[in-house]
């Protein structure tokens, strides 16, 4: 089992998230430039930031994949060759594409390995063989594919397979949705999704019932919204199936989300590397850490059996217990051994708070904030957002470690 552990692939919506993901254990990250991807709402990477990100990743033995997975028109395709050449020159490790025209341009203007985006809806070995023959090295399979089916595709085609293991789920088939086009005039397949499927809706049996004022069959339900995916407890299945890469969704999520998910999956994979067998109990205990970040209830979706009604995130399920149990309080910027650490505050806390520092090696350091000071070394009672504060030095805390605190239930 341990001889072929899958790659852990993490989201990086900006340069800081890239660093956080890699330092907390990701083997690779996927990012986007300012154009040609499906996450127009993220910070994304300028050319200078991408060069810096690739250099940082390679210095830490990690890889960078760039998404070019939007469906493009001719005018946009004319701008693509120059960008593809830039990606090749700065050393990115692969690009993720879904449009056949985009793939053709990539092959004409670079030597970049191509990963097929989940947007292409590759769900079977015959489609995978065709894409392989067209020069695709890896298939990012649709979320509709089970681990068993993914194993068959990999075995019968020899192409690398990548599967989503954690994060938000789209109710549309492989993300091919146009609801946002009609509700917000933003094209989901060109980076404009506003997640209209997560709104609450009312359902009438017939239009005339609504006109007559008859109560709907269902009111205020999110029948098109899925629970979040969590596959941590299924890692033995992924490993046995020789899945190439496990992908965490969330380029628009917070640094705390990235650090927590990456660290949990990375720690579990490290266990499998070191041990012949990892108990389900250990995985369950580690999986509990994923309850502490903001999520929408969890499901295993189609990883073992096809997703069904129990994977729908109903409006009635939206209670406080499914929100984050912890919030990000800040990011460690500098460490002065024997003296203090500098923390950039994201959410306020006071000198009665107890912070938890998430270290890169998996430890959790409890740090009381009773000796809280400002940058002038003067005692303060409250740390305000977007301010620098000083906390006592503790061993094993490093720059870019994240601090969190429990949120009262």
Q: What is the pLDDT of residues 315-332, one digit of tens each?
A: 554 443 445 689 999 999
Q: Which pLDDT band holds residue 288 (cuts at 50, 70, 90)?
A: very high
Do the domain assignments include residue 165?
yes
Do the domain assignments include residue 258?
yes
CA distance readout (Å), 397 to 24, 107, 267, 337: 13, 44, 18, 10
Same domain, 199 and 294: no
Token pair of 170 as six digits = 């789209």
Which domain, by its residues, includes 151?
A: 2-169+227-306
The torsion angles phi and psi of 377, rounded to 5 degrees, stand at 65, 25
Answer with the one of 161, 187, 221 that is the final residue of a domain: 221
As a whole number of Å, the end-to-end CA separation of the chain is 41
Question: Does position 221 have pLDDT exceeding 60, yes or no?
Answer: no
Q: Which pLDDT band holds residue 99 (cuts at 50, 70, 90)?
A: very high
Do the domain assignments include residue 386?
yes
Within its chain, how far is the Cα of 52 from the centroid? Answer: 21
Pairing of strands 245-248, 382-383: unpaired
Q: Which pLDDT band holds residue 213 (cuts at 50, 70, 90)?
A: low
Same domain, 205 and 345: no
pLDDT at 309: 75
Mean of the pLDDT values across residues 231-254? Answer: 95
Same domain, 331 and 285: no
Same domain, 247 and 379: no
Question: Does position 390 have pLDDT exceeding 90, yes or no?
Answer: yes
pLDDT at 170: 73
pLDDT at 313: 74
Do the domain assignments include residue 319?
no
Same domain, 131 and 275: yes
Same domain, 302 and 346: no
Do the domain assignments include residue 281?
yes
CATH code at 342?
2.40.30.10
Question: Does position 3 have pLDDT exceeding 60, yes or no?
Answer: no
Same domain, 48 and 88: yes
DSSP string for 326-346: EEEEEEEEEEETTTEEEEEES
Mean of the pLDDT values across residues 294-320? Answer: 76
Q: Which pLDDT band holds residue 336 (cuts at 50, 70, 90)?
A: very high
Answer with the one of 278, 306, 334 that is the final residue of a domain: 306
Q: Which pLDDT band holds residue 162 (cuts at 50, 70, 90)?
A: very high
DSSP string for 128-160: HHHHHHTT--EEE--TT--HHHHHHHHHHH--E
How far is Cα 147 from Cα 149, in angstroms, rounded to an integer? 5
pLDDT at 211: 64
Q: Are 34 and 84 in contact (CB under 8 A)?
A: no
Same domain, 147 and 208: no
Q: Which pLDDT band holds residue 408 (cuts at 50, 70, 90)?
A: confident
DSSP string for 158-211: --EEEEEEEE---SSGGG---HHHHHSS--GGGT----GGGS-EEE-SSHHHHH
- Between 314 and 382, the more confident residue is 382
Sign of CA dihedral 83, 87, 88, 90: positive
How far is Cα 81 from Cα 386, in angstroms, rounded to an integer? 40
For 309: left if phi > 0, alpha if psi spans -120 to 50, otherwise beta; the answer is: alpha
**The tokens 């250099």 sit on which residue?**
55
Same domain, 124 and 232: yes
Question: Does position 295 have pLDDT exceeding 60, yes or no?
Answer: yes
Question: Does position 297 have pLDDT exceeding 50, yes or no?
Answer: yes
Sign of CA dihedral 68, 73, 79, 81: positive
- How many domains, in total, are found in the chain? 3
Q: Which pLDDT band holds residue 191 (cuts at 50, 70, 90)?
A: low
How far is Cα 81 from Cα 77, in angstroms, rounded to an integer? 8
Mean of the pLDDT values across residues 167-196? Answer: 71
Mean of the pLDDT values across residues 263-268? Answer: 97
Query: Looking at the whole model, is its pTM more than 0.75?
Result: yes
pLDDT at 168: 86
Do the domain assignments include residue 75?
yes
pLDDT at 319: 44
Q: Which residues pair with 81 in a beta bridge?
A: none
Do the domain assignments include residue 274?
yes
Residue 395's Cβ-count burial label (10 Å; 0-12, 13-18, 19+) is exposed
Ranges 289-298, 304-313, 389-398, most confident:
389-398
Question: Does position 385 have pLDDT exceeding 90, yes or no?
Answer: yes
CATH code at 51?
3.20.20.70
pLDDT at 318: 46
Question: What is the chain's mean pLDDT, rounded?
Answer: 88
Question: Does position 396 have pLDDT exceeding 80, yes or no?
Answer: yes
The torsion angles phi and psi of 266, rounded to 5 degrees, stand at -65, -40
Which region among 17-31, 135-149, 291-305 has the lowest average model confidence (pLDDT)? 291-305
pLDDT at 204: 59
Burial 85-112 (b: 16+ CB within 10 A, else e): ebbeebebbbbbbbbeebbebbeebbeb
Do the domain assignments include residue 315?
no
Mean of the pLDDT values across residues 41-54? Answer: 87
Same domain, 28 and 65: yes
Question: Does position 165 have pLDDT exceeding 70, yes or no?
Answer: yes
Q: What is the pLDDT of residues 342-361, one digit of tens each?
A: 999 999 999 999 999 999 99
Question: Does position 130 have pLDDT exceeding 50, yes or no?
Answer: yes
Same domain, 151 and 98: yes
Q: Which pLDDT band holds residue 212 (cuts at 50, 70, 90)?
A: low
Same domain, 128 and 250: yes
pLDDT at 325: 83
């Amino acid at each position: 089992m341990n001889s072929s552990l899958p790659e852990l692939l993490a989201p990086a919506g900006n340069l800081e998230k890239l660093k956080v993901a890699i330092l907390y254990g990701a083997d690779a990250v996927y990012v986007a430039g300012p154009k040609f991807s499906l996450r127009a709402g993220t910070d994304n990477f300028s050319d200078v930031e991408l060069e810096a990100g690739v250099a940082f990743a390679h210095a830490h033995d990690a890889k960078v994949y760039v998404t070019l997975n939007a469906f493009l028109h001719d005018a946009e395709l004319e701008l693509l060759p120059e960008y593809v050449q830039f990606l090749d020159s700065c050393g990115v490790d692969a690009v993720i594409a879904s449009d056949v025209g985009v793939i053709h341009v990539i092959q004409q203007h670079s030597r970049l390995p191509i990963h097929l985006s989940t947007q292409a809806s590759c769900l079977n070995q015959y489609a995978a063989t065709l894409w392989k023959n067209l020069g695709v090295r890896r298939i990012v399979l649709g979320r509709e594919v089970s681990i068993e089916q993914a194993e068959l595709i990999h075995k019968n085609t020899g192409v690398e397979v990548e599967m989503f293991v954690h994060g938000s789920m789209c109710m549309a088939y492989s993300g091919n949705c146009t609801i946002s086009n009609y509700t917000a005039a933003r094209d989901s397949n060109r980076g404009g999704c506003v997640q209209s499927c997560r709104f609450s809706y009312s359902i009438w049996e017939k239009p005339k019932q609504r006109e007559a004022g008859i109560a709907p069959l269902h009111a205020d339900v999110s029948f098109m919204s899925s629970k979040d995916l969590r596959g941590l407890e299924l890692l033995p299945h992924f490993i046995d199936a020789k899945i190439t890469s496990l992908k965490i969704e969330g380029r628009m999520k917070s640094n705390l989300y990235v650090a927590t998910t990456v660290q949990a999956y990375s720690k579990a994979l490290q266990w499998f590397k070191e041990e012949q067998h990892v108990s389900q109990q250990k995985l369950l205990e580690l999986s509990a850490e994923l309850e502490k970040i903001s999520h929408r209830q969890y499901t295993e979706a189609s990883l073992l059996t096809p997703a069904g009604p129990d994977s729908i995130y109903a409006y009635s399920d939206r209670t406080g217990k499914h929100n984050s149990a912890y919030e990000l309080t800040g990011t460690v910027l500098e460490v002065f051994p024997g003296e203090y650490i500098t923390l950039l505050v994201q959410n306020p806390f006071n000198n009665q708070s107890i912070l938890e520092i998430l270290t890169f090696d998996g430890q959790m350091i409890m740090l009381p904030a009773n000796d809280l000071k400002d940058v002038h070394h003067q005692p303060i009672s409250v740390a305000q957002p977007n301010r620098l504060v000083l906390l006592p030095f503790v061993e094993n805390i490093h720059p870019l470690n994240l601090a969190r605190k429990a949120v009262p239930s």
